[in-house]
């Protein structure tokens, strides 16, 4: 039976909650009478979309400001996890655990472990705030985030001693008489620091050691460092804190700069305004409420990475372990370029060219700071992890330059990209210098494959990885095309001639009999027998990478016309596309996904869940059947991107998939980053207004558009008839108007490239 004081507290809480629900229902009723579009963009963000996975974990309900250093999310096993593992203070990766934890509790009994696992309820998450009720402890938690600092407010039960317990896991904590400071090592000699300041001074500061609380021990340097702040019978406790990658003093400076008072509401209001400004770079009207939630939540996801880690003009670089002056330009990292080059970087170019310039400038700085002057592939907080295959940062450099962004050293960028593609090994997941595989690639024009019973002998291949010879050959062919175009711009004629020739290396693995890209051995013989769905082992990595041959069949973004010719012309090209969307899995789902867990979101052999697939639905545009692109894009987004907990089909990667949704719902997409061309799909909204960096607007109007009226009947670009399913960046760079007439049946004559 509840004790009287707890019963009163719970009753008071429930009464407030019921009032809140009633007021909420009134508000919803009132809002329903408003015109569509009255809600601000951030009110259409649902951080829970995609929190339950089909296979891999696609999203976390992340609380942060756009591209900011401080990010948190509830730490639990997954969305359905029944316990919160403390309360987060910072996560250093979108898949990592919290670097620090905070556990409020009350009473005379001290915990037996440094992080409390809570039963919780009434959780509410927005991009800038968090609320949760810790039901066993009977504590209300309210949280708001700034860029490099945040604030918590805790409401404790009456007449009970209140405590806050901090944990640093692998690190140290210290109480200086006014605030708490600490650090934690997060790999590669990189540390994250904290400085936390309570509104009222604690009565005691204790440490938890060997399951015992020891009074007044302010320095804790052992593993699972833990400090307990006791405040007596204080009902409300607020604590604000700053985070830094430089040192604890800088963490304190970040806090002092951003949060001067102990007002949670004030920080929330500022955060909401920041998000509305960022999301307001694209304004939409028309469409369904569900479509709006999917759109603005997808746009919110694109601001999760990369992360601006400049702090008062300085930043710690995990690429050389030093603190640098930023020279007045923000330093960005945590950018998974294998994903983000496809649509995420082009989206930045479109809506925030100044930020994109700083991101690319950061790429160049990283290259200079590392041991070898090689462009990064997977820059994270603690350095470049060199994950995945190929080096697609070169595509982002070229794409931005071709679209008018020049505020980075293009020559240095070129030299870093050239080093990454010619001096570093092409072997995936490896940071080693070029070796035998690379010599073979330069001589023969492809990466040789091993037979299933052959063992790896080449040292540059990572010990837990495979060669991924088809994926590497195709991806590097594209990278070399980008490098060739950079060389031509810079006047490096000899380089241009070499790299443009090598950009056709994908042809060396094309099987003219089957019309697939097929691995070859070092003698030039195709690996046989071969199954284009299942050969390659786990993740198809022995030959491809995460996806099977049906996806890599289309991995020639830089020369689609040549791919059409290789396949036998446009009609056969379209037939092959249709075959992919209709090809069965070939095994039970459990067997298929046991081998290919990244190859989810299936429509036949097509995978909507993995980034190498993103350009594929748009390829009909290049074969005189753009109406099939219009149909396919509509179907794919409505099937796989929805306003619900399973509304993301695969590993989202902090903007990788979401940027595809943002572009596609507006009605166009950058199929070939590095080429300043957008191809047209099927818009979801009657009007989309893109606020360009220069202050001008690109407007897309889709007259009579609806779920049924998804087909383009005719088009005008800047007042002139448009009969092609694409347009140039230069057409919209100074503002533009794309006007589409939509209808329920395809106009098969529109958009034919004859």
Intra-chain end-to-end CA distance of the chain, in Å: 80
Q: What percent of the chain has pLDDT over 70?
A: 92
The answer, yes or no, to whether residue 300 has pLDDT greater than 60, is yes
Question: What does the block give as tokens for 211?
Answer: 């399951």
Q: What percent of the chain has pLDDT over 90?
A: 88
For 505, which DSSP code? G
Long-range contacts of 726-730 (CB under 8 A, 24+ apart): 726/621, 726/677, 726/678, 726/679, 726/680, 727/668, 727/677, 727/678, 727/680, 728/676, 728/677, 728/678, 729/402, 729/403, 729/404, 729/676, 729/677, 729/678, 730/676
Long-range contacts of 532-535 (CB under 8 A, 24+ apart): 533/583, 533/585, 533/586, 533/605, 534/586, 534/587, 534/595
User: Do the Cβ atoms of 673 and 642 come closer than 8 Å?
Assistant: no
Q: Over the chain, what is the mean pLDDT? A: 92
pLDDT: which is higher, 652 or 181? 181
How far apart CA 646 and CA 659 sit, in angstroms, is: 18
pLDDT of residue 4: 31
Residue 583 CB neighbour total at 10 angstroms = 16
How far apart CA 317 and CA 200 sit, in angstroms, is: 35
How far apart CA 705 and CA 476 sit, in angstroms, is: 40
Where are the chain's structural domains?
A: 1-34, 65-276, 282-743
What CATH number matches the domain at 282-743, 1.10.8.100, 1.20.1610.10, 3.40.190.10, 3.40.430.10?
Answer: 1.20.1610.10
Residue 443 CB neighbour total at 10 angstroms = 8
How far apart CA 348 and CA 645 sit, in angstroms, is: 27
56: pLDDT confidence band, cut at 50, 70 and 90? confident
753: pLDDT confidence band, cut at 50, 70 and 90? low
User: Do the Cβ atoms of 311 and 244 come closer than 8 Å?
Assistant: yes
Phi-psi region of 435 (alpha: psi -120 to 50; beta: other; left: phi over 0): beta
pLDDT of residue 92: 82
Q: Which helix (H) or strand (E) holds 243?
A: strand 236-244
670: pLDDT confidence band, cut at 50, 70 and 90? very high
21, burial (CB in 10 Å: exposed 0-12, middle 13-18, buried 19+): exposed
Architecture of domain 65-276: Distorted Sandwich (2.70)
């Amino acid at each position: 039976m509840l004790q009287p004081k707890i019963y009163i507290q719970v009753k008071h809480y429930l009464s407030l909650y019921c009032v809140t629900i009633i007021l909420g229902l009134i508000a919803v009723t009132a809002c329903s009478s408003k015109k569509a579009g009255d809600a601000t963009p951030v009110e259409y963000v649902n951080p829970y979309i995609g929190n339950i996975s089909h296979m891999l974990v696609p999203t976390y309900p992340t609380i942060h400001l756009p591209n900011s250093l401080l990010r948190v999310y509830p730490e639990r096993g997954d969305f359905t996890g029944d316990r919160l593992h403390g309360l987060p203070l910072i996560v250093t990766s979108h898949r990592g655990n919290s670097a620090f934890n905070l556990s409020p509790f009350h009473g005379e009994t001290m915990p037996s472990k440094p992080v409390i696992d809570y039963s919780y309820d009434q959780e509410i998450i927005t991009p800038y705030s968090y609320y949760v009720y810790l039901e066993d402890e009977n504590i209300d938690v309210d949280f708001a985030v700034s860029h490099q600092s945040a604030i918590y407010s805790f409401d404790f039960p009456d007449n009970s001693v209140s405590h806050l317990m901090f944990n640093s896991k692998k690190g140290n904590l210290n109480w200086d008489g006014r605030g708490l400071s600490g650090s934690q090592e997060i790999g590669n000699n990189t540390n994250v620091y904290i400085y936390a300041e309570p509104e009222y001074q604690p009565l005691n500061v204790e440490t938890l050691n060997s399951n015992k609380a020891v009074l007044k021990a302010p320095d804790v340097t052992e593993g699972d460092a833990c400090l307990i702040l006791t405040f007596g019978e204080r009902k409300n406790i607020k604590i604000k804190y700053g985070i830094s990658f430089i040192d604890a003093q800088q963490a304190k400076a970040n806090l002092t700069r951003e949060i001067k008072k102990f007002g949670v509401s004030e920080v929330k209001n500022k955060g909401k305004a920041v998000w509305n400004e960022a999301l307001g770079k694209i304004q939409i009207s028309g469409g369904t409420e569900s479509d709006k939630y999917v759109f603005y939540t997808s746009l919110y996801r694109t601001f999760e990475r990369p992360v601006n880690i400049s702090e008062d003009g300085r930043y710690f670089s995990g690429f050389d372990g030093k603190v640098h002056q930023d020279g007045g330009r923000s330093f960005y990292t945590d950018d998974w370029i294998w994903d983000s080059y496809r649509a995420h970087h082009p989206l930045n170019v479109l809506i925030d060219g100044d930020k994109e310039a700083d991101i690319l400038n950061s790429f160049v700085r990283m290259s200079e700071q590392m041991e070898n002057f090689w462009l990064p592939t997977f820059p994270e907080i603690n350095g470049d992890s060199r994950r995945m295959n190929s080096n697609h940062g070169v595509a982002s450099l070229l794409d931005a330059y071709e679209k008018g962004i020049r505020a980075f050293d293009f020559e240095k960028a070129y030299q870093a990209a050239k080093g990454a593609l010619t001096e570093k090994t092409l072997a995936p997941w490896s940071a080693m210098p070029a070796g035998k595989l690379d010599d073979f690639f330069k001589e023969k024009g492809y990466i040789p494959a091993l037979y299933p019973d052959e063992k790896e002998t080449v040292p540059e291949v990572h010990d837990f990885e495979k060669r991924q010879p088809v994926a590497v050959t195709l991806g590097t062919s594209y990278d070399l095309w980008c490098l060739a175009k950079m060389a031509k711009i810079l006047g490096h004629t000899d380089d241009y001639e070499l790299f443009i020739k090598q950009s056709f290396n994908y042809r060396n693995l094309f099987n003219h009999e089957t019309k697939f890209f097929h691995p070859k051995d070092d003698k030039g013989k195709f690996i046989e027998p071969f199954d284009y769905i299942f050969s390659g082992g786990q993740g198809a990595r022995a030959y491809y990478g995460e996806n099977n041959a049906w996806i890599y069949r289309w991995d020639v973004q830089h020369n689609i016309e040549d791919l059409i010719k290789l396949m036998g012309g446009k009609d056969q090209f379209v037939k092959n596309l249709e075959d992919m969307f209709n090809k069965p899995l070939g095994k039970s789902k459990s067997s298929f996904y046991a081998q290919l867990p990244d190859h989810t979101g299936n429509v036949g052999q097509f995978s909507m869940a993995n980034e190498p697939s993103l350009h594929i639905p748009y390829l009909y545009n290049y074969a005189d059947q753009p109406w099939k692109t219009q149909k396919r894009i509509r179907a794919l987004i409505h099937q796989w991107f929805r306003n619900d907990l399973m509304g993301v089909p695969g590993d989202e990667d902090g903007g990788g998939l979401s940027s595809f949704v943002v572009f596609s719902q507006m009605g166009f997409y950058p199929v070939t980053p590095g080429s300043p061309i957008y191809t047209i799909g099927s818009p979801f909204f009657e009007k989309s207004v893109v606020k360009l960096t220069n202050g001008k607007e690109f407007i897309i109007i889709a007259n009579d558009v609806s779920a049924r009226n998804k087909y383009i009947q005719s088009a005008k670009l800047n007042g002139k008839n448009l009969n092609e399913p694409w347009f140039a960046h230069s057409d919209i760079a100074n503002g533009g108007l794309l006007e589409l007439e939509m209808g329920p049946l395809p106009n098969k004559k529109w958009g034919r490239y004859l």
